Amino acid sequence: MRLLKVATCNLNQWAMDFDCNLKNIKQSITEAKAVGAMIRLGPELEITGYGCEDHFLELDTVAHSWECLKELLLGDWTDGILCSFGMPVIKDSERYNCQVLCLNRKIIMIRPKMWLANDGNYRELRWFTAWKPKDHLEDFHLPTEVSDALSQTTVPFGYGYVQFLDTSVAAEVCEELFTPQPPHAELALNGVEVFMNASGSHHQLRKLDLRNRAFISATHTRGGVYMYSNHQGCDGGRLYYDGCSCVVVNGDMVAQGSQFSVKDVEMVFAQIDLDAVASLRSSVSSFQEQASCKAKVSKVFVPYKLCQPFNLQMSLSSPVKIRYHSPEEEIALGPACWLWDYLRRSGASGFLLPLSGGADSSSVAAIVGSMCQLVVKEIAKGDEQIKADAIRIGHYADGQFPTDNKEFAKRIFYTVFMGSENSSEATTTRAKVLADEIGSWHLNVSIDGVVSSLISLFQTLTGKRPRYKVDGGSNIENLGLQNIQARVRMVLAFMLASLLPWVHNKPGFYLVLGSSNVDEALRGYLTKYDCSSADINPIGSISKTDLRRFLKWAAVHLGYLSLAEIEAAPPTAELEPIRSNYSQLDEVDMGMTYDELSVYGRLRKIFRCGPLSMFKNLCYKWGTKLTPAEVADKVKYFFKYYSINRHKMTVLTPSYHAESYSPEDNRFDLRQFLYNVRWPYQFRKIDELVNELDGDKIALTKSTEGERVHVTADGGMGVVAAGSGDPRAGF
Looking at the annotation, which residues are catalytic?
A: 44, 113, 174, 356
The span from the first CA to the last CA of the chain, in angstroms, equals 70
Amino acid at 282: S
Q: How far apart are CA 560 and CA 669, in angstroms?
A: 35
The β-bridge partners of 249 are 225, 252
Order of strands, sheet of 350-354, starting from the edge strand that comes earlier in the sequence: 441-446, 413-419, 350-354, 510-512
With H, G, I as helix, E, B as strand and everything else as coil, classify residue 659: coil
List phi, psi (to 5°) of 227.
-100, 135
Instruction: Let me know if 430 is exposed, middle or buried by CB neighbors in 10 A (0-12, 13-18, 19+).
Output: buried
With vertex at residue 378, the alpha carbon angle to CA 320 and CA 539, rounded to the nearest 5 degrees, is: 85
> 455 and 704 in contact (C-beta within 8 Å)?
no
In this structure, are residues 413 and 440 in contact, taking their beta carbons and an 8 Å threshold? Answer: yes
The DSSP secondary-structure symbol of 135 reads S
Selection from 559, 505, 513 nearest residue 539 by Cα: 513
Sign of the C-alpha dihedral computed for residues 323, 328, 331 and 336 taken in this order: negative
DSSP for 439-461 reads T-EEEEEE-HHHHHHHHHHHHHH
H or E element at residue 639:
helix 628-644
Which H, E and C letters describe 25-91, residue by residue? HHHHHHHHHHCCCCEEECCCCCCCCHHHHHHHHCHHHHHHHHHHHHHHHHCCCCCCCEEEEEEEEEE
Q: 86 pairs with which residues across the strands?
A: 99
Burial of 229 from C-beta contacts in 10 A (0-12 / 13-18 / 19+): buried
